[in-house]
Amino acid sequence: MGKFQSWANEQWAPLQRAASWNPPFYRFFGSEHSQVPAGVRPLSGDESCRNLVRLIDTLDGDHPRPHVFRRCLSGMWGTGYRPSPGHEETFGTLASKAVKVADPKEAVAALAQYSPVSPPVTPRNAAPAPRQSSPTEVTFDGQVWAVKKEFVIQSEMRGVADLLDPMNWEQLAPFFKQTQRIDVQKTDAETGSWQGILKETVAFTWNSMTTQSFEAYLKIDYTVTKERVRADYSLEYEEGNQLIVDDGFGEARQVDGGIHYIGLKRLRFVSSILNLVAPAALCMFIESDEDGFRDVLEHKANAIAPPVTAGAKPITSPPK
Amino acid sequence: MPPEEPTTRSKLGTGVAEMLEKQRAQIPKPLLGIAVWNQVPHYDGNAGAAPAALCDLLRDVLDLSLDDALRIYTDRNAAPVVFPPYPDQVIIDAQYESHGSATECEATVQICVPAELDDVKRLTMHPPPWPCQPARDFFWSRVEAPEATRIPQVLNQPWSIKADLNLPEQAVQSVTLNVAKLADNAFESQLKFEMSANRLLTLCSGAITVMKEEGRPGAVRIINKRSVQVAPALAVDAAQLIKYWLQVETVCLALPS
Query: What SS3 state is found at B95?
Result: strand
Burial of A255 (C-beta count, 10 Å sphere; 0-12/13-18/19+): exposed
Separation of first and last alpha carbons in chain B: 39
**Interface-testing mutation among B93, B185, B188, B221, with chain A (most A C-beta atoms within 10 A):** B185
> In chain B, what percentage of residues exceed pLDDT 70?
84
pLDDT tens string B190-220: 989 899 999 999 999 999 999 999 999 999 9
> Sheet containing A145-153: which strands, arranged edge to edge?
A137-140, A145-153, A258-269, A243-255, A228-238, A211-224, A194-205, A176-187
Cβ under 8 Å to A: B residues 169-188: 185-187
pLDDT band for position A196 (cuts 50, 70, 90): very high
Contacts of B122 (CB under 8 A, 6+ apart): none
Q: Three-class SS of residue A152?
A: strand
Residue A39: other Cβ atoms inside 10 A: 12
Closest CA to A23 of A3, A9, A43, A6: A43
Q: How far apart are CA A110 and CA A91, in angstroms?
A: 13
Q: Give whole-number Cα distances, B57 to A62, B31, B82, B89, in Å.
A: 73, 12, 19, 17
* Cβ–Cβ gap A225/B212 under 8 Å: no
Nearest alpha carbon to residue B62 among B92, B83, B41, B93: B83
Supply the mean pLDDT for chain A. Answer: 87
Q: Residue B9's pLDDT is what?
A: 52
Segment A49-64, tens digit of pLDDT: 999 999 888 887 788 8
Q: Which among B92, B184, B187, B188 is the top mutation candidate for probing chain A, defined by the most A β-carbons within 10 Å of its own β-carbon?
A: B187
Contact A317, A180 (CB under 8 A): no
Structure ipTM: 0.83
pLDDT in tens, B26-39: 788 888 888 888 88
- Tell me how close the Cα of B142 comes to any Cα of chain A, in angstroms: 38
- Give the pLDDT of residue B233: 86
**So what's the pLDDT on residue A245?**
97
B78–A contact, CB cutoff 8 A: no
SS3 A32: coil
DSSP state of B136: B
Q: What is the predicted pLDDT for the residue at B149?
A: 64
pLDDT in tens, A206-260: 998 889 999 999 999 999 999 999 999 999 999 999 999 999 999 999 998 899 9
DSSP B244: H
For B218, the closest of A221, A230, A266 (CB atoms) is A221
Q: What is the DSSP letter of A133?
A: B
Mutate to test the interface with A, among B112, B116, B216, B220 (most CBs of A within 10 A): B216
Task: Tell me which residue in B185, B187, B215 faces A247 most closely, judged by beta carbons.
Answer: B215
| A176-191: pLDDT as tens digits | 999 999 999 999 999 9
Do residues B198 and B123 lie in contact, with contact meaning Cβ atoms separated by under 8 Å? no
pLDDT surpassing 60 at residue A121: no
Are A294 and A153 in contact by the 8 Å Cβ rule? The answer is yes
List, for residues B235-256, the tens digit of each pLDDT value: 889 998 898 889 888 888 888 6
B90 in reach of chain A (CB within 8 A): no
Rg (CA), chain A: 19
Asked whether the predicted pLDDT for residue A312 surpasses 70, the reply is no
What whole-number distance in Å separates Cα of residue A46 and Cα of residue A44? 5
Q: Is the pLDDT of residue B82 over 90?
A: no
Query: What residues contact residue B3 under an 8 Å CB cut-off, 6+ apart?
Result: none
Distances B150 to A155, B57, B142 between C-alpha atoms, Å: 41, 44, 19
Query: What pLDDT is stored for residue B76 in this prediction?
Result: 58
Given a cut of 80, whether residue A130 has pLDDT beyond it is no
Residue B178, Cβ density class (10 Å: 0-12 exposed, 13-18 middle, ≥19 buried): middle
Cis amide linkage into residue B129, ω under 30° from 0: no
C-alpha angle B254/A226/A157, rounded to 5°? 125
The backbone torsions φ and ψ at residue B159, rounded to the nearest 5 degrees and listed phi first, read -135, 165
Cα angle B157, B158, B163 (rounded to 5 degrees) comes to 160
pLDDT band for A33, please (50, 70, 90 cuts).
Answer: confident
Mean pLDDT (whole number) for B43-53: 85
d(CA A257, CA A112) in angstroms, rounded, equals 26
List of residues 6+ apart from A186 with CB closer than 8 A: A193, A194, A195, A196
pLDDT at B87: 87
Burial of B252 (0-12, 13-18, 19+ CB in 10 A): buried
Residue-averaged pLDDT of chain B? 83
* A116-139: average pLDDT: 66
- Rounded to 5°, angle at Cα A37 from A31 and A42: 55
Average pLDDT over residues B17-22: 79
